[in-house]
Amino acid sequence: MRRTAPRSTLRKIIKKHKPQLRLAANADLLVHLNFLLFLHRLAEEARTNAFENKSKIIKPEHIISAAKVL
């Protein structure tokens, strides 16, 4: 059985960690959460690509190759 958090709890978490994100009353929270999770995965993959190339700076090509993987 899948367990999900109540939408009110998700809304509080998003407002706490991302106050600049404006949520309308009818906004689908799962869309916002999926977007934030995608950005997190993209950042992790880009960081990994930079590390593999022995680069201290994340360059656009690292992000592009990470986006192709995701």
Residue 3, pLDDT > 60, answer: no
Q: Which residue has the tokens 């916002």?
A: 32
Give dist(CA 64, CA 69) in Å, integer.
9
| pTM exceeds 0.85 | no
All domains in the chain, ordered by first residue = 7-69 (1.10.20.10)
Do 29 and 50 contact (CB within 8 A), yes or no? Answer: no
Q: Are 70 and 42 in contact (CB under 8 A)?
A: yes
Q: What is the DSSP letter of 2?
A: -
What pLDDT does residue 8 have?
73
pLDDT at 65: 80
Average per-residue pLDDT for the chain: 76
Average confidence (pLDDT) over 27-34: 73
Output the pLDDT for position 19.
75
Q: How far is CA 48 from CA 25, 28, 34, 41, in A?
A: 37, 31, 21, 11
pLDDT of residue 53 exceeding 60: yes
